């Protein structure tokens, strides 16, 4: 099973070695009939830059021809290299596809447009750090905003990102945006000396924002963990509809991380027989509560100062392959690793069920019961 889950990454390593042995492959691979399927993205790793536009055209052709094209984050990032407005429009059509929503936000953030401001504010609430970082960087490129929604979203980022040096750095970007938007400071400490919770300062921000926006209900005030857990006591678990549950399962993009060869989470086959409905849904609501060591995130800081976080999918004395929450795979040589930290957090985002009804809970459970 481990070999199968890492198959694409191992094939990528083999393909790179093959291109070294036969460099002509780099020039002809994208011209082959049928090129453009989702799995072909890994073949672009060795293709010359002048061939990338040709490859993108092939992917777009396949998307237009295949009604059920299997979108992935990798495909989004490839098409995102094109500045063709038609290609950007194709990506925007996938904003309703939760499986690749974060990747689309990251691509659009690279060329931040004022018309996407609400999208970037929404991205601040993502459970994926890379999406939050990209959304913040996009907002820094736009004119300052007085929107209460944006200020509360920035404060929410500052409050929850304090578990690693990488998160502290992203938090500082959020605070600088807050300061720029509101002309307030409240003595926030930047740099390594500020890598702590700073609850008093953040509370001053909260009090000031509430005073300025007394009637505003911000996103951070939506149903919290305790309230969601209390809902489990009133769900009629026997009233679920498996067909509706399957539809919800797909909308929440559960299959993205719990199915296929590149699964980031455990297989859910038979999960309803191993756990009670209460325990299973409590784990969905609080994904960081009890994370198996196998699925804990590893953060790596390289000698060049870059930070990568994700699951180790392959490791040897020469280095490792690390897959992040966006399903991107990073190859890090052993001599590049400066610091390696095991994080007690899960890659699974919190808040998946925050807007769901007790009937939704029952439907999703009915679907899981049948796996």
Residue-wise pLDDT for 303-316, tens only, equals 888 888 888 888 88
Query: Number of structural domains, the chain?
Result: 4
- CATH at residue 324: 2.30.30.100
Answer with the residue of higher pLDDT: 295 or 225: 295
The answer to the question of residue 106 being in a domain is: yes
pLDDT of residue 219: 47
Q: Are residues 312 and 186 in the same domain?
A: no
Q: Are residues 188 and 233 in the same domain?
A: no
Answer with the residue of higher pLDDT: 324 or 109: 109
Q: Are residues 171 and 195 in the same domain?
A: yes
The answer to the question of residue 33 being in a domain is: yes
pLDDT of residue 263: 66
The answer to the question of residue 105 being in a domain is: yes
Helix 165-182 vs helix 199-212: angle between axes, to the nearest 10 degrees?
A: 30
Whole-angstrom distance, CA of residue 367 vs CA of residue 141: 43
Whole-angstrom distance, CA of residue 5 vs CA of residue 263: 7
CA 318 to chain centre: 28
Residue 100 structure tokens: 């690749």
pLDDT of residue 208: 93
Residue 208 structure tokens: 């000031």
The answer to the question of residue 38 being in a domain is: yes
Whole-angstrom distance, CA of residue 139 vs CA of residue 187: 22
pLDDT of residue 233: 87
- At residue 194, φ and ψ (nearest 5 deg) are -95, 5
Residue 26 structure tokens: 């780099």
Confidence band of 291 (pLDDT split at 50, 70, 90): confident
Q: Are residues 264 and 355 in the same domain?
A: yes
Confidence band of 324 (pLDDT split at 50, 70, 90): confident
DSSP code per residue over 63-115: HHH-TT----HHHHHHHTT---HHHHHHHHGGGG-TTTHHHHHHHHHHT--GG
Q: Are residues 100 and 214 in the same domain?
A: no
The answer to the question of residue 119 being in a domain is: no
Confidence band of 260 (pLDDT split at 50, 70, 90): low
pLDDT of residue 261: 59
Instruction: Name which of 65, 117, 122, 112 is nearest 90 in CA terms.
Output: 65
Q: Are residues 217 and 238 in the same domain?
A: no
Residue 115 structure tokens: 């018309």
pLDDT of residue 223: 47
pTM of the model: 0.70
Mean pLDDT of 271-298: 81
Domain termination site, one of 174, 202, 221: 221
The answer to the question of residue 116 being in a domain is: no
pLDDT of residue 226: 72
Confidence band of 57 (pLDDT split at 50, 70, 90): very high
Mean pLDDT of 33-40: 92
pLDDT of residue 270: 85
Q: The sheet that has 298-302: what strands, in order across it?
A: 329-333, 319-323, 307-316, 298-302, 337-342
Q: Which residue has the tokens 């992935």?
A: 72
- CATH at residue 267: 1.10.760
Asked if the model's pLDDT at residue 18 lies above 90, the reply is yes
Mean pLDDT of 104-132: 91
Mean pLDDT of 46-72: 92
Domain that holds residue 19: 1-111
HSE, side-chain direction, 13 A CA sphere, residue 10: 12
Asked if the model's pLDDT at residue 257 lies above 70, the reply is yes
β-partners of residue 342 are 298
Q: Are residues 215 and 255 in the same domain?
A: no
Confidence band of 144 (pLDDT split at 50, 70, 90): very high
pLDDT of residue 220: 43
pLDDT of residue 221: 39
Mean pLDDT of 223-239: 80
**pLDDT tens digits, one per residue of 179-208:** 999 999 999 999 989 988 898 999 999 899
Answer with the residue of higher pLDDT: 60 or 321: 60
The answer to the question of residue 117 being in a domain is: no
Domain termination site, one of 221, 252, 281: 221
The answer to the question of residue 118 being in a domain is: no
Asked if the model's pLDDT at residue 259 lies above 50, the reply is yes
Asked if the model's pLDDT at residue 159 lies above 80, the reply is yes
Q: Are residues 9 and 103 in the same domain?
A: yes
H-helix segments, 80-219: 85-92, 101-110, 117-123, 129-141, 148-160, 165-182, 199-212
Q: Are residues 249 and 360 in the same domain?
A: yes
Mean pLDDT in the chain?
86
Domain termination site, one of 57, 76, 111: 111
Q: Are residues 310 and 217 in the same domain?
A: no
pLDDT of residue 184: 92
Q: Are residues 249 and 354 in the same domain?
A: yes
**pLDDT tens digits, one per residue of 329-355:** 888 998 999 888 877 667 777 667 877
Q: Are residues 230 and 302 in the same domain?
A: no
């Amino acid at each position: 099973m481990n070999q199968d889950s890492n198959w694409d990454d191992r094939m990528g390593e083999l393909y790179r070695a093959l291109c070294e042995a036969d460099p002509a492959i780099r020039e002809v691979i994208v011209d082959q009939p049928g090129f453009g399927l989702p799995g072909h993205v890994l073949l672009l790793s060795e293709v010359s830059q002048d061939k990338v536009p040709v490859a993108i055209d092939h992917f777009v052709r396949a998307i237009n021809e295949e009604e059920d094209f299997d979108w992935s984050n990798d495909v989004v990032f490839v098409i995102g290299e094109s500045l063709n407005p038609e290609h950007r429009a194709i990506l925007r059509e996938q904003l309703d596809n939760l499986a690749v929503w974060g990747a689309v936000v990251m691509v659009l953030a690279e060329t931040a447009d004022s018309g996407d401001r609400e999208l970037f504010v929404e991205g601040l609430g993502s459970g994926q750090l890379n999406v939050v970082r990209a959304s913040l960087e996009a907002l820094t490129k736009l004119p300052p905003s007085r929107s209460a929604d944006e200020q509360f979203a920035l404060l929410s980022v500052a409050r929850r990102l304090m578990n690693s040096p990488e998160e502290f750095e992203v938090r500082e970007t959020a605070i600088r945006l807050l300061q720029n938007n509101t002309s307030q400071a409240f003595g926030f400490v930047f740099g390594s000396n500020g890598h702590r919770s700073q609850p008093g300062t953040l509370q001053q921000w909260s009090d000031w924002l509430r005073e300025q926006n007394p009637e505003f209900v911000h996103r951070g005030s939506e149903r919290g963990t305790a309230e969601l857990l209390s809902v489990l006591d009133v769900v009629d678990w026997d009233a679920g509809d498996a067909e509706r549950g399957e539809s919800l399962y797909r909308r929440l993009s559960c299959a993205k991380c719990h199915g296929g060869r590149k699964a980031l989470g455990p297989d859910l086959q038979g999960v309803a027989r191993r756990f009670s409905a209460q325990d299973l849904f409590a784990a969905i609501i609080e994904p960081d509560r009890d994370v198996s060591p196998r699925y804990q995130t590893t953060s790596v800081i390289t000698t060049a100062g870059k930070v990568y976080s994700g699951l180790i999918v392959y490791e040897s004395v020469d280095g490792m392959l690390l897959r992040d929450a966006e399903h991107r795979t990073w190859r890090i040589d052993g001599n590049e690793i400066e610091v390696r930290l095991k994080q007690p957090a899960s890659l699974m985002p919190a808040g998946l069920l925050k807007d769901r009804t007790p009937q939704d809970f029952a439907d999703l459970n009915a679907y899981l019961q049948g796996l």
